[in-house]
Amino acid sequence: MEYRNLRVALLGGGSVGAQVARLLLEQGPELANRVGATLELVGIAVRDVNAERTVDLPRKLFTTNAEELILGADIVIELMGGIEPARSHILLAINSGADVVTANKALLALHGPELFAAANQVGAQINYEAAVAGAIPIVRPLRESLAGDQVKRILGIVNGTTNFILDRMDTEGSSLEDALAEATALGYAEADPTADIGGYDAAQKAAILASLAFHTTVPLASVYREGIESITPAQIESARKAGYVVKLLAICERVSDENGVLGVSARVYPAMVPRSHPLAAVHGANNAVFVEAESAGSLMFYGAGAGGVETASAVLGDVVSIARRHVAGGPGVAASSYAALPVFDIGRVTTRYAVTLEVTDEPGVLATIASVFSKRKVSLALVEQSMTPAVMATKSRAARSATATLVIGTHDATEAALAATVQDLATNSVVSEVASVLRVEGA
């Protein structure tokens, strides 16, 4: 069968780009049968055409002239990463009549509205399945499969590096430093892991997911972010004893504040997740996105969140979808931000805390601590007290009265009230140290 020809330009020849090029070349006939058109890879724009590649590809495909390549393409795949020149290249592609596939989470989180507006103006399509969770299909289910439903909440493990580190700390008792070194040796962590362990990567993905799920533009600056830099083996062990595991979560939810105003929250932080929750079973460098919808109920999408060939699978899925639209005709699917809900700061969000305190071991301490919580209208769900082994072994009354450990779990309260409570505790005379503060999610 003879098909029409669609010219595909690839920007970026790194680990993902090289695998995309390989699959386009090797699976060309099968892809043509699926699409109803031939997908011709016309070139790969790179900085250095002589650089070593992870895949053996025809030398003639490589060029440093990205602009010329874009102007001759029907579909442009952007896998360069970074903000510029990726942003300019995508705008050039859209304005020249091409559709775009990208895996650039940073660019979409910062400039998504601008890019989608440009595409909507000319009826072009931007697909970005690989930008959020690697090979895991989550963008298309949110945009299409759940289009007739109302998404209430998303809990996502969307960064493989941090999940690997926290999993090693939980299952093997590793320190954060040792687990990070192992992640680096295995290729899960970059030489500079700040974007991962600092939660920046997950925050970018949270902005994309929240914007998509709630039909509202959620700027990256509005996403609250905490990383895992301060997580200790003691916190991991304490969570384990209580029946929890610590995960770095991207949380996007539709919420109402104390005045009944409906809005959106997007936040990233390490949290304690019950071991009975499906996300607790996500090990190694895998990702998972847990979606709670009004009618569909609870859904989980699980799999590889990174990797060259795995991510290439998601990119090719987007390419096939766009190519089919070219064959069928009609404008691209417009980005939806009709709801325009306010984006709440974290202080207006309701959550739960698990607080570990080192306190003086003397009569009346529990009552004093309880009064601090009561002052902020935070209700206690659990209070456990234990002596440290060193203190328990000491026979001196003065030594015995030196310190004890309190583990306090709260009921739901606003983040502002909980944060203020922790600040009050830190300055209270009976508190020697606020040893740990972790939020509790998924319970």
Residues annotated in a binding site for NADPH: 105
315 touches 16 (CB < 8 A):
yes
Query: What are the distances in angstroms from CA 33 to CA 30, 329, 426?
Result: 5, 17, 65
Say which DSSP state 223 is in: S
Residues forming the annotated binding site? 11-18, 105, 190
CA–CA gap between residue 83 and residue 111 (Å, rounded): 9
66 touches 45 (CB < 8 A):
yes
Residues forming the annotated binding site for L-homoserine? 190
Q: Which amino acid is at 287?
A: N
Q: Does residue 93 sit in helix, strand or coil? A: helix
Q: Which amino acid is at 179?
A: A
Angle subtended at Cα 134 by Cα 133 and Cα 137, rounded to the nearest 5 degrees: 70
In terms of residues, how long is the chain?
443
CA–CA gap between residue 221 and residue 203 (Å, rounded): 9
CA–CA gap between residue 141 and residue 157 (Å, rounded): 17
| Beta partners for residue 436, in sequence order | 356
Collect all residues with Cβ–Cβ distance below 8 Å to 138 and sequence separation of at least 6.
129, 132, 209, 289, 291, 301
Catalytic option among 205, 375, 377, 395: 205
Q: Which two tokens stand for residue 296?
A: 């569909």
CA–CA gap between residue 99 and residue 325 (Å, rounded): 10
CA–CA gap between residue 342 and residue 217 (Å, rounded): 9
Cis peptide before 363 (omega within 30 of 0): no
* Residue the block writes with tokens 């019950």: 274
Residues forming the annotated binding site for NADP(+)? 11-18
Say which DSSP state 89 is in: H
Respond yes or no: is residue 60 known to be catalytic: no
Catalytic residues: 205
